[in-house]
Amino acid sequence: MNPNSTTPGKQRTIPPALAAALVLAIGMGFGRFAFTGLYPLMVRDGYLTVHSGTLAASANYAGYLIGALMLAMLKPTNSRLLCMASMIATVTCLAILFWADNMWVIIAIRGLAGIVSAVSMVAASMWLMHDMGHQRGAPTLYAGVGVGIVLSAELIALGHAFGLHSAALWMVLALSGLLLVLVSTAGLACKAETVVGKAAATDSVSHATSRSQAFILIVIYGLAGFGYIITATYLPLLIKNAIGPIDPVHVWALFGLGAIPSCFVWHAVNVRLGTRKSLALNLTVQAIGVALPALSHSGFFYIASAFLVGGTFLGTVTIVMPAARHVAHAVRFNMMAGLTAVYGVGQIIGPLVANAIYVSNQSFAGSLWTAAAALLLATAMCRGI
């Protein structure tokens, strides 16, 4: 064997798609969505109220928007460095919440975590699909969010079962996230030439693109952000006693569990049907899932909602992000960052609408119907892309 061979070095790395998926598992699954599982426990422990929890959620989504806008304007070139920085910053935010006992400090940290999660999403997407040329890795990449949701939710459930305080659970997440950082770092060291040519891009967008189609895609993605976020923010709080002695965070884990294979399923649907039809189907199923808890408060409907919304929201990302690459020439800004930003706008508005409706009638049903309607509007707009 040639002593200068790079094979041993390659064996020490993990596949690029898996490395990028771990970036999203940390930045999105832990950094953003772990709050959904911990929200009820933080209310129980007196750190937050339902209202201040909504402010913390909205601060996180506002941070997500700010982070995306920053990246759209700066047009970063070193996506690998951004991936590393976002993971380290996420773990730091998780650790700080172990000590934070002031509502406004918690809200501020959640806002910072939102900025970092946007960096994670854009940087991981750019590194894998642009720098590495690994288009077929998109389903694995976005499945990382679901993996992060499942891992964080089950860690929360396990810690809760052992009687850990909500603050201690943030440290458990920080230490677990740090382990994932170490694993991901090995894969991020991979050079582009090791994968380019092995994974040819799959062009599922066969129709001509234009500037108007690019902006329609952006609006659709914004509506999708609004449509799913109420379920993604309040699901464990909505469930309450509907599933008996089962810890509601397990249903949130089901949300993430459904998200993992959904990326591969919706990628296959996209390849077969094309962006227009696959996105319309995805958003329709998602609307049904969002509306279910408004129809009935039974445990079955909550579980079905978790599975349907969890099984579609990352599918939306899996369909839209590769499509963005094909319309990017029609706009003068970073299309991926622009999409991430408008998704953030939808996510900011969602909890604010939910809180306003909840204050008026002490129910989330109206906000769920509103979210479902937004998803159906997005479905109708798919005809224009």
Question: Could you write out the DSSP letters of every residue in 231-249?
Answer: HHHHHHHHHTTTTTTS-HH
Which pairs with CB-CB distance under 8 Å and at least 24 residues apart come from 95-103?
A: 95/170, 95/171, 95/174, 97/167, 97/170, 98/167, 98/168, 98/170, 98/171, 98/174, 99/167, 100/47, 100/167, 101/47, 101/167, 103/47, 103/48, 103/52
In this predicted structure, what is the pLDDT of residue 289? 95
CA-to-CA dists, residue 194 to 2, 171, 182, 293, angstroms: 18, 36, 21, 47
HSE-CB at 241 with a 13 A cutoff on CA atoms is: 0
Contact indicator for 17, 267 with CB cutoff of 8 Å? no
pLDDT at residue 287 in the model: 97
Q: What is the CATH number of domain 14-384?
A: 1.20.1250.20
Going from N- to C-terminal start, the domains of the chain cover 14-384
| Structure tokens, 342 | 């408008």
Res 247: pLDDT: 77
Positions of the chain with pLDDT lower than 50, given as ranges: 1-12, 193-208
CA distance 219 to 152: 31
- For 71-105, the pLDDT digits (tens) are 877 666 788 999 999 999 999 999 999 999 899 99
Length of the chain: 385
Nearest to 127 by CA among 51, 184, 88: 184
pTM for the structure as a whole = 0.82
Helix, strand or coil, per DSSP, at residue 203? coil
Of 168, 144, 309, 149, residue with least CA distance to 238: 309
Instruction: Classify 76 as helix, strand or coil.
Output: coil
Task: Return d(Cα 89, Cα 85) in angstroms, integer.
Answer: 6
* Chain segment 174-208, per-residue pLDDT in tens: 999 999 999 999 889 876 544 444 444 444 444 44
Tokens representing 50 are 């339902």
Please tell me whether residue 102 adopts helix, strand or coil conformation: coil
* Contact present, 38 and 160 (Cβ < 8 Å): no
Q: Phi and psi dihedrals of 316, rounded to 5? A: -60, -45
